[in-house]
Structure 1
Amino acid sequence: MNDRRLATLRLLSLVGALFTALVIMAGAFTRLLDAGLGCPDWPGCYGALVVPDESSALLHSPDAPLDASKAWMEMIHRYLAGCLGVMVMALLVLAWPRRRKPGFPWRLMLMLFAALMVQGAFGAYTVTLKLWPQVVTLHLLGGLTVMTLFIWLHLRLRRVARGEAALAARPLGALMGVATMLLVLQLALGGWTSSNYAGIACQGFPTCNSQWVPDTDWGEGFHLTQTVGPNYLHGALHAEARTTIHLAHRLGALALTLALALVVIRRWHRREMRPWLLTLAGATALQVALGIANVLLWLPLGLALLHTAGAVLLVFSFTLVAWKLRHSRQAVKGRQRQTRGGWLHA
């Protein structure tokens, strides 16, 4: 593979990561505008590739009146997701000649393609199952997974361009493992909170509805076998169940913040890691502040959208810290081996 093609792959992977973040934000904006069912079918809108006029929409789906602004928001989100699929296909085509080369991340590209296909299925089911919270939550997690794979692919391609060997698969330690699990759990709780419209179920902070221990219903709040079929726009759970979900999201935020703070403290002695750790700490503090502000200000549209952006930034920064820890560890070991070898040959 010539240098120009490899440079194109690196650029595409970076653009893909940033573009995925844009698609996630467009999806969040669609959800916040209650436009998730702006088009009652998939992949078209009232049977068309563009939003039709009111009479055509009425003929196609008489039980789903057309709201043109919401329909266009939903279709723009789909168009953007389609562009993302084209990017991944372009990556595969450009990388095909190199697929058998040692150290080339071909399997990672195939994982990215598979993740995007699954994400497309979640997008379809989000509409056909009428915003079923389980699917909406998985759709959010899928988008963040695609973004993470793009980031990891870009970093791998940078190593290939520098002629460096692929990183050996080494665990990053128990603390990073716990932090990873808590991050995934908190992202899932955020999606569950949003999809069940529980963002302001707890009013006030740090108390919830002026209570430290509010009335809750954990069984109903996390009843993962909800009936498929009802329209879940605006949610279908009672107040105590939504309070439970919101409270769980707050507790998850506390646990994740403590875990990430420990990661920063434990790794701070490594000077080469400090810029990345500061980025992670800043992203964590920003996300916590946005969460609190959303509660106190009753979930205004702009702040709610920024909270999703904060989650994207947190995943970005955490992925970079994980990569740098892994890369730095190998680099240090390599230097140590070279030093020992130098003494032996002296």
Structure 2
Amino acid sequence: MKKLVLVSIFLALVVIILGAYTRLTDAGLGCPDWPGCYGQLLVPQSDALIERANQAFPDRPLEAEKAWNEMIHRYFASALGLLIIIIAAVSALNKRKGKDCPVKLPFLILVLVCFQGALGMWTVTLNLLPVVVMAHLLGGFTVLSCLFVLYLRLSNVNISRSDPNIKGFAKFSIIGIVLLVGQIALGGWTSANYASLACTELPICEGQWSARFDLAGAFSVPAADNYEYGVHSYAERMTMHVMHRFGAIIVFLYLVGLAISLFWKTSSGMIKRIVVLMVVVLSLQIALGISNVVYALPLIVATMHNAVAACLLLVMILLSYTMRRRF
């Protein structure tokens, strides 16, 4: 059971990375139908199938590279879904045999991954509606997080005696998770609306950005038939980008403050190691964010920015889980 969950965590992270890569290569509509691609389980390759696909979708002729990016993401997501079904079935079977095994959490993960599949379908059928795209991103992070919590529960991590010096810090780690999830959502909203390059200078934005700031417009959803490449004005996209940077500053300051406080007050070597890991991953994430601006969103850097965000969330969950287990 634990090995299955560990494999599923790795697979969920791969799906998140592939989803980011698909989005960043503008391949979200590489296949305009769902769950197949131009009516096929594989991307059409023969001349006859390509001709048939182009006739079926004259407004979106086949682009093989984008189609493969989209379908590879779907294949891995389907494999993850199948693995989670197996995990839920094994957990139910173990419980029926009287073994001490979580059942509610695997079932919750199964429900989440089914809903995640529906969001994947709506991403295509609603032509990259930003709310759905962002929800799909958050759904992926939620599934990954729940799988990690399940792994921690199955691992029965040995927690040493309580440290009274940090008794009140467990709730602050939860606040850190909430802030981080909010920042991930801001990043997803920025990416879903193609606003990642709306600001090209540091530390905030170029020009008279404050005069163009439009918070209401930035978080609106204009009516459109297709949301590919974005439908918001420059001012609205600039506001999205600026809000994401503000969020990054807030999360960075909060997590660094939490790390310093915990490191100096705790006597637990385990918690100190988790705190150091958190600072390392946080620093890497900030460096990737800055690189996205300085080097105009390189594909590998932007993709890793999503992956490291997922890793940072897992580290925060590990920290919170460890401290809550201690009390």
State TM-score, norm by structure 2. Answer: 0.90
Alignment partner, residue 274 of structure 1: 272
Alignment partner, residue 324 of structure 1: 322
Alignment partner, residue 85 of structure 1: 81
| Bigger relative contact order, structure 1 or 2 (CA pairs below 8 A, ≥6 apart) | 2
Q: Work out whether 1:40 is the aligned partner of 2:32.
A: yes
Q: Work out whether 1:17 is the aligned partner of 2:20.
A: no
1:234: Cα distance to partner? 1.0
Partner Cα distance (2:75, 2:187) in 1: 25
1:226: Cα distance to partner? 3.2
For the 8 Å contact 2:15–2:77, the answer to whether it is kept is yes
The structure number with the bigger radius of gyration is: 1
For the 8 Å contact 1:208–1:214, the answer to whether it is kept is no
Partner Cα distance (1:189, 1:33) in 2: 20
Alignment partner, residue 239 of structure 1: 234
Partner Cα distance (1:326, 1:172) in 2: 9
What amino acid is aligned across from residue 90 of structure 2 in structure 1? L
Partner Cα distance (1:115, 1:320) in 2: 21
Partner Cα distance (1:312, 1:207) in 2: 24
What are the within-5 Å matches in structure 2 for residues 219-298 of structure 1?
Answer: 219-223=216-220, 225-227=221-223, 229-268=224-263, 269-270=265-266, 271-272=268-269, 273-298=271-296
For the 8 Å contact 1:203–1:209, the answer to whether it is kept is yes
State TM-score, norm by structure 1. Answer: 0.85
Partner Cα distance (1:12, 1:226) in 2: 43
1:173: Cα distance to partner? 4.1
What amino acid is aligned across from residue 137 of structure 1 in structure 2? M
Partner Cα distance (1:299, 1:83) in 2: 30
Alignment partner, residue 215 of structure 2: 218
What amino acid is aligned across from residue 92 of structure 1 in structure 2? A
Q: Aligned pair count?
A: 311
Alignment partner, residue 308 of structure 2: 310
Alignment partner, residue 183 of structure 2: 186
Which range moves more in the overlay, 300-309 or 124-133? 300-309
Q: Work out whether 1:116 is the aligned partner of 2:147.
A: no
Which range moves more in the overlay, 299-308 or 175-184? 175-184
Alignment partner, residue 135 of structure 2: 138
Residues 1:311 and 1:324: Cα distance change in structure 2 (over 3 Å): same
Residues 1:123 and 1:259: Cα distance change in structure 2 (over 3 Å): same
Alignment partner, residue 154 of structure 2: 157
1:119: Cα distance to partner? 0.6
1:212: Cα distance to partner? 6.8
What amino acid is aligned across from residue 76 of structure 1 in structure 2? I
Alignment partner, residue 59 of structure 2: 63
What amino acid is aligned across from residue 41 of structure 2 in structure 1? L
**Runs of 5+ in structure 1 lacking a partner?**
1-8, 163-169, 331-346
1:98: Cα distance to partner? 2.3
For the 8 Å contact 2:222–2:232, the answer to whether it is kept is no
Partner Cα distance (1:123, 1:207) in 2: 33
Q: Work out whether 1:72 is the aligned partner of 2:64.
A: no
What amino acid is aligned across from residue 272 of structure 2 in structure 1? R
Could you report, residue by residue, the CA deviation over 1:79-115 in whole angstroms, capped at 9, with x for unpaired residues? 0000001101111222222235585211000111011
Partner Cα distance (1:102, 1:54) in 2: 53
For the 8 Å contact 1:204–1:210, the answer to whether it is kept is no
Alignment partner, residue 98 of structure 1: 94
Could you report, residue by residue, the CA deviation over 1:141-189 in whole angstroms, capped at 9, with x for unpaired residues? 00000001111111111129x9xxxxxxx99644223212211110100
What amino acid is aligned across from residue 32 of structure 1 in structure 2? L
1:308: Cα distance to partner? 1.0
SS in 2 for 1:321: helix
Q: Work out whether 1:26 is the aligned partner of 2:18.
A: yes
SS in 1 for 2:60: coil
Residues 1:214 and 1:308: Cα distance change in structure 2 (over 3 Å): farther
RMSD between aligned residues: 1.9
1:274: Cα distance to partner? 0.8
1:132: Cα distance to partner? 0.7
Residues 1:230 and 1:212: Cα distance change in structure 2 (over 3 Å): closer
For the 8 Å contact 1:203–1:210, the answer to whether it is kept is no
**Runs of 5+ in structure 2 lacking a partner?**
159-166
Percentage of matched positions with identical amino acids: 41
Which range moves more in the overlay, 102-111 or 301-310? 102-111
Residues 1:105 and 1:171: Cα distance change in structure 2 (over 3 Å): farther
Partner Cα distance (2:255, 2:197) in 1: 25
For the 8 Å contact 2:170–2:324, the answer to whether it is kept is no
1:213: Cα distance to partner? 3.1
What amino acid is aligned across from residue 62 of structure 1 in structure 2? P
